[in-house]
Chains A and B, each alone.
Chain A
Amino acid sequence: MTALEFKSVRKTFGTNVALEGLDLGVMPGELITLLGPSGCGKTTALRIAAGFEFADSGTVSVSDVDISSTAAHKRNMGMVFQSYSLFPNLTVALNIDFGLRTRKVASADRARRVDEMLELVELGRFRDRYPHQLSGGQQQRVALARALAVQPQVLLLDEPLSALDAKVRTTLRDEIRRIQTEVGITTLFVTHDQEEALAISDRVCVMSQGRIEQLGTPTEVYRRPSTAFVARFVGSMNELEGTVVDFRNVSISGRTVAVPAHGQADGTDVKVLVRPEDLTLVDDGFPGTVTSVTFQGATTLVGVRLDVIDRLVSIDVGQGDADHLGIGDRVQVALNGGNAVCEAA
């Protein structure tokens, strides 16, 4: 049984198609991230789940109960928004209490639940503060506590980290995952940040133009992208021109490299998309000249202009291996094509 399910959900705004028959099932306790660029339909899907928008066709169900036409306030969903959504006139404790009060929970139970939630997000000492007395990260944690206080069936997170600075974002991201796992709540998370999606999700749903491009675990989406769009959107990619030799080999500048080329006819010109970590510096490979060396902590990103195909590529080099490299050095580059993606040129 799925905890949340979209079946053939279609939504248009005027002539703009926001969702083109979305089919997605979220399992109980699972965290699925909807990942995609602006306008791909991810937020529309979330708002349809929340009841703020209604689908033109198709159904949304929670635990196999169709809620497609249920009003937002009658759905048992918790939601955290991109912008700070705490009620400015209420203290932290009263914000958390809001949903419990609207559900007419007994006073003693409400007080107990508010304490539990404050403990969960570790903000007990801020209970009497007003939202404007909190930092952005603290406000989002209170918003999370408020959403969870009502014990919703599904938690909806609409880019809750995007208004925060990088360091706070990483900490809160881990915090959200910890709380989600601890509470065991089914969660739909929307983001355009691929790093965030890969770090937090059980499964990632990459979307483009109202359709799902790929649904899979973070490793699957990153290591085995099913389309060129996913390959480009998730992580960075180098693009090399080549010609298909057969279904598992591509010729790049006269060298045959093992690259899966399913679905492409022999002799077709293709673009080979390959990640920086799948390129290595070797003794016998494509010759080129180092154009940049960027230290990134654990790895170093080396830019190399390949001679024969006049193409600039980025290569992830392990710690220490790039210490001797300088701009202008001559190097040789090899390609591990096992995870590469072929796209018709």
Chain B
Amino acid sequence: MAAVNSRRGSRLLPTVVLIAAAVFFIMPLVAIARFGFQNVPTVLLGWSSLFKKWTLDGITGAFRDRNFGPALGLSVKLAIGTVFGTIGLLLPTAVWVHLKLPKARGLVEFMTVLPYMVPGIALVAGIKVIQPHARWFLNSPYSLIPYYVVLALPFTYRSIDAGLRSIDLRTLVDASRSLGAGWGTTLRRVLMPNLRTSLVSATFLTVAVVLGEFTISSILLRKTLPVFQATYRSSSPRGAYALSVLFLLGTTAVFAVLSLLTRPKSARVKKIDPVVAAVTDEALATQGLAT
């Protein structure tokens, strides 16, 4: 009886912690959603008004704003550019570090955390150094991509690093190379398919950084989506918050679908029970047929 009680107790605590964490995470979102989608004065947003006057007016107003389309377009292009830049830079680097410089892994990890410590405004100040040499580049809105690549580093490097730790990297690379594949083919046909999950999460995190970054784009006078949202907030606060909620849910949904679709076929087929495999092995060996 005491054992049963203790088991119940041990199940209760994680459940309580889980619920508390969910409430902590979801409540602010619900509050923002209510503010953005309910046409009720803020002081009256209580339990009694929970189901009253829900409307999409705020968000449709934002969609109709003439600055919304260009800002969204620019942010999407920047997100795509940043994703390619990040994966193009980080995947070969991480593979190289794992294979050739395993002792430097700690140093590289530390370097990837630096963007956390350096404020965005300091990053922008660094532009003065290259400004005279790369004015043509800095005039382009796409000059934000390198900043975003750096800002996304703490998240993306960890995601790729975790993926690389989960596979037998050296053996897969050696096997691929012994079969005549160069580094490009090895990355494309062996590593990327086997790192699909970590690459999708790196992509998700990168897009989240791009769609949320305000400081640098605002200082550099780029009209990205977060800058539009900040500006729009002054004229229509409800619309701006509704937009935030919509993008949060939208990107989460897109990536949930994406990660399901990009699941490797091998993960979708049933794994054979190791005991069954061993028995099969032994049976075949006994028959002199296999293994």
How far, in angstroms, from A146 to B178 measured CA to CA in the complex?
Answer: 10
- Evaluate contact between B269 and A150: CB separation under 8 angstroms: no
The segment from B105-113, B166-174, B250-258 found at the interface with A is B166-174
Instruction: Decide: A52 near B291, CB < 8 A? Known: A133-B271, A135-B277, A137-B285.
Output: no
Assess whether B289 is interfacial by the CB under 8 Å rule: yes
- Evaluate contact between B266 and A99: CB separation under 8 angstroms: no
- Evaluate contact between A168 and B281: CB separation under 8 angstroms: yes
- Please pick, from A81, A133, A135, the residue contacting B174 in the complex, using a CB distance under 8 A: A81
Q: Which residues of B contact A77 (CB under 8 A)?
A: 178
Within 8 A of B (CB), among A76-110: 77-79, 81, 83-90, 98-99, 102-103
Instruction: Decide: A150 near B180, CB < 8 A? Known: A87-B175, A89-B194.
Output: yes
- Evaluate contact between A167 and B282: CB separation under 8 angstroms: yes
Closest approach, in angstroms, between the C-beta of B194 and any C-beta of chain A? 5
How far, in angstroms, from A135 to B289 measured CA to CA in the complex?
Answer: 14
- Evaluate contact between A147 and B178: CB separation under 8 angstroms: yes
Instruction: Decide: A102 near B285, CB < 8 A? Known: A87-B175, A122-B290.
Output: no
How far, in angstroms, from A84 to B175 measured CA to CA in the complex?
Answer: 10
Q: Which residues of A contact B285 (CB under 8 A)?
A: 137, 167-168, 171
Q: Which residues of B contact A102 (CB under 8 A)?
A: 179-181, 185
- Evaluate contact between B266 and A78: CB separation under 8 angstroms: no
Q: Chain A: which residue is nearest B189 at the CB level? A: A98
- Evaluate contact between B269 and A130: CB separation under 8 angstroms: yes
- Please pick, from B178, B185, B280, B288, the residue contacting A78 in the complex, using a CB distance under 8 A: B178
- Evaluate contact between A123 and B182: CB separation under 8 angstroms: no
Q: Which residues of A contact B175 (CB under 8 A)?
A: 79, 81, 85-87, 143
How far, in angstroms, from A11 to B190 measured CA to CA in the complex?
Answer: 30
- Evaluate contact between A135 and B194: CB separation under 8 angstroms: no
How far, in angstroms, from A131 to B272 measured CA to CA in the complex?
Answer: 10
Main SS at interface, chain B:
helix
- Evaluate contact between A72 and B178: CB separation under 8 angstroms: yes
Q: Which residues of A contact B266 (CB under 8 A)?
A: 88-90, 130-132
By CB atoms of chain A within 10 A, which of B172, B190, B278, B290 has the most? B290
- Evaluate contact between B168 and A141: CB separation under 8 angstroms: no
Closest approach, in angstroms, between the C-beta of B186 and any C-beta of chain A? 8
Assess whether B177 is interfacial by the CB under 8 Å rule: yes
Count, chain B residues at interface, CB 8 A:
35
- Evaluate contact between A52 and B177: CB separation under 8 angstroms: yes
- Please pick, from A74, A79, A85, A135, the residue contacting B281 in the complex, using a CB distance under 8 A: A135
Assess whether B102 is interfacial by the CB under 8 Å rule: no
- Please pick, from B182, B185, B272, B278, the residue contacting A133 in the complex, using a CB distance under 8 A: B272
Q: Which residues of A contact B179 (CB under 8 A)?
A: 73, 78, 98-99, 102, 146-147, 150
- Evaluate contact between B180 and A134: CB separation under 8 angstroms: no
Assess whether B92 is interfacial by the CB under 8 Å rule: no
Within 8 A of B (CB), among A258-294: none
How far, in angstroms, from A156 to B175 measured CA to CA in the complex?
Answer: 11
- Evaluate contact between B174 and A73: CB separation under 8 angstroms: no
Assess whether B146 is interfacial by the CB under 8 Å rule: no
Q: Chain A: which residue is nearest B291 at the CB level? A: A137
Instruction: Decide: A136 near B281, CB < 8 A? Known: A79-B174, A83-B171, A85-B175.
Output: yes
Q: Which residues of A contact B289 (CB under 8 A)?
A: 122
Assess whether A8 is interfacial by the CB under 8 Å rule: no
Q: Which residues of B contact A73 (CB under 8 A)?
A: 177-182
Closest approach, in angstroms, between the C-beta of A340 and any C-beta of chain B? 38
- Evaluate contact between A72 and B264: CB separation under 8 angstroms: no
Assess whether B193 is interfacial by the CB under 8 Å rule: yes
Q: Which residues of A contact B185 (CB under 8 A)?
A: 102
Closest approach, in angstroms, between the C-beta of A56 and any C-beta of chain B? 17
Q: Chain B: which residue is nearest A104 at the CB level? A: B180
- Please pick, from B172, B180, B282, the residue contacting A99 in the complex, using a CB distance under 8 A: B180
Instruction: Bits for A145-171, please: 1 = Cβ < 8 Å to B, else 0.
Output: 011001000001000000001011001
Q: Which residues of A contact B189 (CB under 8 A)?
A: 98
Within 8 A of A (CB), among B141-170: 167-168
Closest approach, in angstroms, between the C-beta of A50 and any C-beta of chain B? 6
Assess whether A172 is interfacial by the CB under 8 Å rule: yes
Q: Chain A: which residue is nearest B264 at the CB level? A: A89
Q: Which residues of B contact A238 (CB under 8 A)?
A: none
Assess whether A217 is interfacial by the CB under 8 Å rule: no
Closest approach, in angstroms, between the C-beta of A60 and any C-beta of chain B? 15
Within 8 A of B (CB), among A300-321: none
Q: Which residues of B contact A132 (CB under 8 A)?
A: 266, 271-272
How far, in angstroms, from A88 to B168 measured CA to CA in the complex?
Answer: 10
Instruction: Decide: A89 near B193, CB < 8 A? Known: A83-B171, A171-B285.
Output: yes
Q: Which residues of A contact B193 (CB under 8 A)?
A: 87, 89
Closest approach, in angstroms, between the C-beta of A79 and any C-beta of chain B? 4
Q: Which residues of A contact B281 (CB under 8 A)?
A: 135-138, 168
Q: Which residues of A contact B176 (CB under 8 A)?
A: 87, 98
How far, in angstroms, from A71 to B285 measured CA to CA in the complex?
Answer: 38
Interface residues of B (CB under 8 A from A): 167-168, 171-172, 174-182, 185, 189-190, 193-194, 264-266, 269-272, 277-278, 280-282, 285, 288-291
17 A-B residue contacts at CB 8 Å?
Answer: A50-B174, A50-B178, A52-B174, A71-B177, A79-B178, A81-B174, A85-B168, A85-B174, A88-B264, A89-B194, A89-B264, A102-B185, A134-B277, A146-B179, A156-B178, A165-B278, A171-B285
Listed from nearest, the 9 A-B pairs whose CB atoms lie closest are A137-B291, A99-B179, A135-B277, A135-B281, A85-B175, A89-B193, A130-B266, A79-B178, A102-B180
Not counting A51-B177, A73-B179, a sample of 19 additional A-B residue pairs whose C-beta atoms are within 8 angstroms of each other reads A50-B178, A72-B174, A72-B178, A78-B178, A83-B168, A86-B175, A89-B265, A98-B176, A102-B180, A130-B265, A130-B269, A131-B266, A133-B270, A138-B277, A141-B290, A150-B179, A156-B178, A168-B281, A172-B291
